[in-house]
Chain A
Amino acid sequence: MIWGVDVASMLLGGVAAGMVLFIVSVGLSVTMGLMGFVNLAHGGFAMLGGYAIVQAMKHWGLGFVPALVFGFVVTALVSVVLERLLYSRLYRANELDQVLLTIGLVFVMIASVTLLLGPENQPIRLPAALQGQIDLGIVRYRTYSVVLIAAGLLIAAALWLVFERTQIGAQIRAAVDNRRMAESLGINIDRLFTITFAAGSGLAALGGGLGAEFLGLDPQYPLKYLVYFLIVVAVGGLGRVTGVFWAALLIGVLDFVLKKYLPQGGTAFIYAFTILLLLWRPQGLFGGAAR
Chain B
Amino acid sequence: MISPPPSGPLDRPAAHALAGRHWLRAWEPIPWILALGLFVLFPKHLAFGTELLVTILFALSLDLVLGYAGIVTLGHAAFFGAGAYTVGILAKRGLWTEPITGLILAAAVAAAVGLGSGVVLLRTRGLTLLMLTLCTMALLEEAANLAHDYTGGFDGLDSLPIAPLLGRFEFNPLYPTTQYLYVLAVLFVCFLFVRTLVYSPFGQSLTGIRENILRMRAVGAPVRQRLVLCYTLSAAIAGVAGGIWAQANAYVNLGTLALDRAATVLIILVLGGFGRLYGAFIGAVAYMALSHFLSKVYPTGWQLGLGLLLVVIALFANNGILGLVETCSRALRRRGAGAPAPGASAGQ
Contact B130 A100 (CB under 8 A): no
Given contacts A100-B314, A282-B124, contact A268 B304 (CB under 8 A): no
Q: Chain A residues with Cβ under 8 A from B74's Cβ?
A: 99
Q: Does A278 contact B (CB under 8 A)?
A: yes
Given contacts A96-B270, A230-B131, A234-B131, contact A104 B143 (CB under 8 A): no
In chain B, positions 114-144 with a C-beta closer than 8 Å to chain A are 120-121, 123-124, 126-128, 130-132, 134-136, 138-139, 142-143
Of the stretches A108-116, A160-168, A203-211, the one at the interface is A108-116
Contact B128 A278 (CB under 8 A): yes
Contact A234 B303 (CB under 8 A): no
Q: Chain B residues with Cβ under 8 A from A265's Cβ?
A: 142, 146
Q: How far is the CB of B332 from chain A (nearest CB, A)?
A: 26
Give A101 to B314 CA distance when docked, in angstroms: 5
For chain A, the bracket of interface size reads 35 or more
Give A108 to B138 CA distance when docked, in angstroms: 24
Q: Does A92 contact B (CB under 8 A)?
A: no
Q: Does B259 contact A (CB under 8 A)?
A: yes
Contact A104 B134 (CB under 8 A): no
Of the stretches B84-92, B157-165, B305-313, B340-348, the one at the interface is B305-313
Q: Chain B residues with Cβ under 8 A from A100's Cβ?
A: 267, 270, 310, 313-314, 318
For chain B, the bracket of interface size reads 35 or more
Contact of B308 among A108, A274, A275, A279 (CB under 8 A): A108
Contact of A107 among B121, B124, B270, B303 (CB under 8 A): B303
Q: Chain A residues with Cβ under 8 A from B313's Cβ?
A: 100, 104
Q: Chain B residues with Cβ under 8 A from A106's Cβ?
A: 307
Interface string of B253-294 (1 = CB under 8 A from A): 000000100010011001000000000000000000000000
Contact B307 A107 (CB under 8 A): yes
Nearest A residue (CB) for B303: A111
Q: How far is the CB of B74 from chain A (nearest CB, A)?
A: 7
Give A107 to B300 CA distance when docked, in angstroms: 9
Q: Chain B residues with Cβ under 8 A from A109's Cβ?
A: 307
Q: Chain B residues with Cβ under 8 A from A282's Cβ?
A: 123-124, 128
| Chain A residues in the interface with B (C-beta under 8 A) | 32, 36, 38, 86, 89-90, 95-101, 103-112, 114-115, 223, 227, 230-231, 234, 238, 264-265, 267-268, 271-272, 274-275, 278-279, 282-283
- The list of the 3 closest CB pairs from A to B, nearest first, reads A104-B310, A107-B307, A111-B304
| Chain B residues in the interface with A (C-beta under 8 A) | 66, 72, 74, 120-121, 123-124, 126-128, 130-132, 134-136, 138-139, 142-143, 146, 259, 263, 266-267, 270, 300-301, 303-304, 306-315, 318
Between A and B, 14 residue pairs with Cβ closer than 8 Å are A38-B127, A86-B311, A90-B314, A95-B127, A96-B318, A103-B267, A107-B310, A108-B304, A231-B135, A234-B127, A234-B131, A272-B139, A278-B135, A279-B124
